[in-house]
Structure 1
Amino acid sequence: MALTSFIAASQHGPRPLPLFLDLLREETAASPDRRAAALAGLAAYQTAARPRPRRPMPVVARAGRATLHDYGGTGIPTVFVPSLINPPMILDMRYRRSLLRWLSRQGIRPLLVDWGTPTPSDRACSVTQHIEDQLIPLLRSIGEPVALAGYCLGGTIAAAAAQAVPVRGLALIAAPWRFANFGVEALERIDAIWQAAHGTCDALGLVPMEVLQAGFWQLDPARTIAKFEKFGRLDPASAAAKSFVVLEDWANAGAPLTFAAGRQMFDDFFTADLPGRGQWRVAGQIVDPLALPCPTVEFVSLTDRIVPAASAVGFADQRKLRLGHVGMVVGSSARQFLWKPLADWLTALPTPR
C-alpha cells in the first residue's frame, strides 16, 4: 500500500498526515511487515465508523470565547479545567469512559470549561489572559465557592485561578508546574519545535494543532506507530476498536492556540520555568500553589510520557499512579485509580461557611 494513498483520506488524521507518514517510514524501515501492518491499521482507522456527535451539555456561563457546561448532578459544584491543547472532551469520552458523567452520579455537580476556538484576532491572548479574562469570570459567575480540578495544562491554569478566586479545594491531574523537571533532552526537543514554527505561527497569529501534535509524536515515535499496528488487528465492532477511534479522534482534533498563549507556554514555561521558579504573576499576584489556603491534591503518573511526575507541584497529598497521561483519565483502570479517589476527595471537602 503506497504511503501517498492516505493523503486524500486525511480528514480523520493523524495531523499533519505527511509528517506522520514520514515518521512511519522511519520507524518501519527495517520491517516491511510492520510497515504493512501499520498502514493497514491507519487505513482502518481513517475509514472506521464514527458515532453521532453528542448534544452539548447546557451552557450556564460565558466569558469571551469560553463557555461553562453543566453536567448535572447534585452536590459540590466542581469546575473542570481542560488543557488549551486538544478538545475538552477527554473528560467526557464515550463508551463508559466519561469521568464527568460518572461524577454527576456520585454526589458531585461537574461543570466543564470549553475554551472555544480562537481566531487571528485573538493573537494577543496569553495563557495568563485566558485565566484573568475567561476562567476567573466563569468561576465568579457561579455565585458560590466551587471546587476546581484541572487536567494537564488545565491544571497549571487552575492552580493560578485558585489563588485569585476563593475555592473549596484544588485537584490537579497530570498537571505540569516545575517545567525545568521535564529534563534537558525533552526541553531541547520542545524548544527546537518552537524555533522551527515560531515565524509561521507569528504570521498566522495562531499556533496550529499540527505543531503541537508533531511534538507529541516525537516523545515516543515507536509507540505512535505501534498503536496503529495493533489497531489493524482488532475487530472493528469490538469495544477496544471503538474506544481507539474516539480517543484517536480526540488526540488529532483541537483548536489552535493563540500566538501569545503558545509563546508564553514555550518561552515562559518550558524555557524560563516561571511557574516553577515562583515568577509567574496572575491577577496581580505571584502564583504559589503550595501557599493556597484550600485543601489540595494532585494525581501524577509515574509512567507519563507527556508530563513527567517530577514536574508536578509537590503537594503533600500526592497520589502516584502508573496509568499514563491519557490512560489515567480514560483507561480501563481509570475508575479504580483516579475517578473513585477523586470523587471521595471532592465529597469530603468541608462545606463553606
Structure 2
Amino acid sequence: MAPLDGTAIPAPARLGPRPLPLHLAAPMMLYASSLSALPILKGVWNSSNTPDGRSSDNRSAGAGPEWADALSAMMTSAPFAMASAFPESKLPAMQTIAAQCELADLVASIDLEFRGQLGQMLDGILSYHHHGYRRDLTDPPAVWRQGSTSLHRYAPPGSGMPVLIVPSLVNKSYILDLNSQGSFCRSLAAQGLVPYLVDWGEPGTEEAEFGLTEYVVRLHAMLDAVEDENGRGGPVAMVGYCMGGLLALPLAIERQDRIGKLVLMATPWDFHSGKAPGPNASRMLVSACEPALSLFGKLPVDCVQAMFAAIDPLNAFRKFQYFARLDPASAKANRFVALEDWLNDGVSLTARVARETLGGWYAENRTAGLKWDVGGDTVNPADFHGETLVVIPKSDRIVPPESALAITELLEDVRLLRPALGHIGMMSGRRAVELWDRVTRFLQA
C-alpha cells in the first residue's frame, strides 16, 4: 500500500553478506597477520647466511632462484598468508619488493595494496545493497499447510507425474524457484511434470521442539496430500536437494510402494570424507553453539551463516571485489544479487535439529555408520529398491563430492551425474538448465 502522499515505498534494506562483521574481520585479520610476519620475512631475506653463499649486502643486486622459490613458498603458506589476499600474478613483483626495499617500504606497499582491495570489497557491498534487482516471481498458492511448513504446486494436478521436491532446512526453498530467468520447479512443469515444492519456513512455536523425525513425519503428510490431488493410482517421484535429500531418503524407504523414482542432488552421506571438518572440529563446533541453543532454543541465522563462512573465510572478500567490477545492469550482476539475496535470507534451526545434524551427522558420522535413525528405524540407502539418480556437482564446496559419492555404494539401482557445476550453481545460471533437462528425462523415462 502506497503512502497517502503518493511517494514510492523504498525497497527493503538488504542484509549481508551475513554476518557482515565476520566477513569484514576476515580480511583485516589476514592483513594484520601478514604485516606481523613481514619483519620475520625481511629478517630471513637479509640474513648473511644465504643459501647461495653471497653476503646480505649483495641481496639487492638480485635474488637467486632458490630465494625466489623460498619466498614464494613462505608467502603462500600460513602464517604468511598474503597469497590469499593478493593475486598470484603479483607474487613476482612482491618478491622483488621484498628483496630490494627497506622494511618500511615493504609495509607501505602491502598496506597500499590491501587498502585498495578492501575498498573495492566495500564498494561491492554498497553496490549490492543499492542494486535494483528484486525477485520477479510469486510463489504459487499453498495446497497444504501445517505450522510454518507449506506445500506449493507448479502445474495442474493430474496433468503429469507428480514430483515432491524437498529442500534443505537451512535456507529458503526458493533457490529452486529463483526467478523468471531460472527456476528448477518451473522447468519441470514446462516439460509435463507436476512439481510440488516444500517450504519449511522459519520454525515457529509449533516447531520449537522439532527434530529431524518430526520434519520427516510432515513429509509423510505432504506425500498423502500429493496423492490425494493426483489420485493414488500412479507413482510419485521425489527430489531432495542437499540436506533435503537426507530428509527425503527415509520417506522414500518407508513409502517405496508409492515412490517411483528418487533424485538426490548434492546430498551428503559420509561426513568424514573429503575436505569435511573432522570429528574433533565438529565436536568443538557443537560445544561453541551450545550457549546459543540453550539461550534461544534454536541456532540463529547468523550462527548458521558463520559456519558456512568458515568453509572459506575470504570468499566474501573476493566475491564482492568481483561484483564491484561488474556492470550493475548486466545479467551477471543480476544473477549475483539474486543468489546473494537468497543466501542472506536464511532460516534458523531448532535446537534438536542443530544437535542432531552438527553432533550426529558431522561429529559422529551416524549416516555413513548406519547409526542414524528416524522414528526408531535406521536409515540405510540399501533398503530403497527403486531407481535413484545421484547428482554430484564437481565444483561443490559445501558438500564434498567424496561425501556424496559414498551413498552410491549402498543404493541398489543407481545412476550418477557429475555436472561441472557448483552446489548453488546447479540451481542457477544458464548451464544449470542442461542439468534440469537431464533430471527431467530420468524422471520421465
What TM-score does the superposition give when structure 2 sets the normalisation length?
A: 0.72
Report the Cα offset of residue 246 of structure 1. 1.2
Answer 1 or 2: higher relative contact order, Cα 8 Å, separation at least 6.
Answer: 1
The match for 1:317 is: 415
Are 2:174 and 1:98 aligned?
no
Q: Structure 1's 54 and 190: CA in aligned 2 closer, same or farther, altered over 3 A?
A: farther
Deviations 1:176-233 (A, max 9, x none): 1222225564555444333212111222011111111111112122333211001011
Amino acid at match of 2:441: D
Equivalent pair of 2:165/2:240 in contact (CA under 8 Å):
yes
Q: Secondary structure at the match of 2:292?
A: helix
Aligned position for 1:149: 239
Cα separation, partners in 2 of 1:188 and 1:90, compared to 1, 3 Å = farther
Q: Which residue among 119, 134, 137 is the counterpart of 1:36?
A: 119
Matched, 1:328 2:411: no
C-alpha displacement of 1:28: 5.6
Say if 2:147 and 2:204, in contact at 8 Å, map to a contact too.
Answer: no
What residue is the counterpart of 1:130 in the other structure?
A: 215
Quick check: 2:140–2:152 contact (8 Å CA) kept in 1? yes
Measure the CA separation in 2 of the matches of 1:89 and 1:345: 23
Other structure's SS at 2:392 match:
strand
1:248 counterpart residue number: 340
Match 1:164 to one of 250, 254, 272: 254
Structure 1 stretch 312-321 or stretch 211-220: which is displaced more?
312-321
Worse-matched range after superposition: 84-93 or 282-291: 282-291
How far apart, CA to CA, are the structure 2 residues paired with 1:120 and 1:22? 35
Equivalent residue letter for 1:149: V
- Give the deviation of 1:155 after TM superposition: 0.7
* Partner in structure 1 of residue 439 of structure 2: 342
After TM superposition, give the deviation of residue 292 of structure 1 in Å: 0.6
Distance of 1:66 and 1:95 partners within structure 2: 24
Taking the aligned partners of 1:191 and 1:250, their CA distance within structure 2 comes to: 29
Aligned-pair CA distance for 1:243: 1.1
| 1:274 paired to 2:366 | yes
Equivalent residue, structure 1, for 2:140? 57
Superposed displacement of residue 347, structure 1: 0.7
Query: Alpha-carbon deviations, 1:239-285, whole Å to 9, x = none?
Result: 11111111101001122111111111111111111221112222442
Cα contact 1:28–1:34 (8 A) shared by 2: no
Q: Which secondary structure state, in structure 2, belongs to the residue aligned with residue 178 of structure 1?
A: coil
Measured in 2, the distance between the counterparts of 1:181 and 1:282 equals 23
CA contact (8 A) 2:118 2:317 kept: no
Partner residue, 1:232 = 324
Contact 1:10 1:17 in 2 (8 A): no
Hey, what's the Cα distance between the residues in 2 that align with 1:115 and 1:208? 16
Query: 1:281 and 1:329, CA in 2 relative to 1: closer, same or farther beyond 3 A?
Result: same
**Matching residue's letter, 1:138:** M
Gaps of 5+ in 2: 1-11, 33-109
The yes-or-no answer on 1:72 pairing with 2:151 is no
Q: Deviations over 1:56-94 (max 9, x none)?
A: 212112233311100116311001100001100110111
User: How many angstroms apart in 1 are the aligned matches of 2:319 and 2:279?
Assistant: 25
The question of whether the paired residues in 1 share the 8 Å contact of 2:163 and 2:196 is answered with: yes
Deviates more, 1:236-245 or 1:57-66: 57-66
SS at match of 2:191: coil
1:63/1:137 contact within 8 Å kept: no
SS in 2 for 1:168: strand
Structure 1 partner of 2:129: 46
Task: Give the secondary-structure state (helix, strand or coil) at the position aligned to 1:142.
Answer: helix
CA contact (8 A) 2:137 2:179 kept: no
Matched to 2:224, the amino acid is: R
| Structure-1 separation of matches of 2:340 and 2:195 | 24
For 2:242 and 2:196, locate their aligned partners in 1 and report how far apart those are by CA, in whole Å.
17
- The answer to whether the 8 A contact 2:260-2:386 is kept is yes
Paired with 2:205 and 2:297, the residues of 1 have a C-alpha distance of: 5
Paired position in structure 2 for 1:12: 15
Contact 1:78-1:111 at 8 Å conserved across structures: yes
TM-score norm. by structure 1 comes to 0.90
Measured at CA, do residues 75 and 27 of structure 1 come closer, stay the same or move farther in structure 2, by a change above 3 Å?
farther
Q: How many pairs does the alignment contain?
A: 338
How many Å apart are 1:50 and its aligned residue? 3.5
Match of residue 139, structure 1, among 223, 236, 250: 223
The 1-side partners of 2:339 and 2:278 are apart by 25
Farther off after superposition, 141-150 or 257-266: 141-150
Partner Cα distance (2:142, 2:246) in 1: 24
CA deviations on 1:128-158 (whole Å, 9 max, x unpaired) are 21112x1111112222331000100001111
RMSD: 2.0
- The 1-side partners of 2:276 and 2:176 are apart by 31
Structure 1: gaps spanning 5 or more residues: 1-8, 349-353
> CA 1:296/1:265 → structure 2, altered by over 3 Å: closer, same or farther?
same
